[in-house]
Amino acid sequence: MIRHLASRWRAFVQDNRGVAFVEFAIGAPVFLVLILVGLEVSNLALAYMRVSNLAMTVADNAGRTTSGIDEAHVYEVFAGANVIGQGIEFKEHGRLVLSSLEHNGRRGGNAGQVITWQRCWGDLDIDPAYGVEGDGATDDSLEDGLGEAGRQIMAMEGTAVMFVEATYDYQPMVGYGWFEPPQIRYESAFNVRGRMNNNITNTQDLDELTC
């Protein structure tokens, strides 16, 4: 009897059937979490690149029109931004602020920069960070230009700078709850190329994409 029980016990201890299934059941959740985290990190990195590219492309394209700037050109610039941002649904969750920065033509204590015109695109409810259209026209409130302190952008007299603020509320792949989705923000600026008149026109009577 005792010998029989000992034999059964040894057989039980040595039986490794189902071990692989148990190991899989323990390891699968960990493996799945690692995959999901990797996908989320990759998607977040892609979103950062897309928003950065949007800011640079909009500023660059807005500065390329040499004969003048019209509301139709602004529509075209934002249409290009829409194509770039489709993969992350930028229009639905982001906002672009395009500002034309110039010297205000004043002298002495009122000399500074002015936002000659400003246009916005995207459904995210966020205000321009550094000023609105008309700011700095008669005073030195934008004496140092636009941008973060210590990194402001200024326009030389007789020309203009296209300054872009791109802001996007990141949309997680996996879902909300396990981390706080960041708000991604990039700024970019390009000088205009040979444009003689930087005042915006509206030859087609389009709706102004004001902020």
In a domain, 208, yes or no: no
Q: Where are the alpha helices (DSSP H) in the chain?
A: 2-14, 19-62, 71-85, 90-93
- Of 15 and 182, which is predicted with more confidence? 182
Please, which pLDDT band fits residue 11 given cuts at 50, 70 and 90?
low
In a domain, 86, yes or no: yes
In a domain, 85, yes or no: yes
Domain assignment of residue 87, given as a range: 2-201
Average pLDDT, the chain: 87
Residue-wise pLDDT tens digits, 110-159: 999 999 999 999 999 999 999 999 999 999 999 999 999 989 999 999 89
Residue-wise pLDDT tens digits, 96-108: 999 999 999 999 9
In a domain, 210, yes or no: no
pTM higher than the cut 0.85: no
Q: Which of 166, 135, 161, 138 is nearest to 51 (CA)?
A: 166
In a domain, 129, yes or no: yes
Residue-wise pLDDT tens digits, 195-209: 778 889 999 999 999
In a domain, 211, yes or no: no
Angle at 195 between CA 189 and CA 200, to 5 degrees: 80
Number of domains, the chain: 1
53-92 per-residue burial string, b: 16 or more CB within 10 A, e: under 16: bbbbbbbbbbbebeeebbbebbbebbeebeeebeebebbe
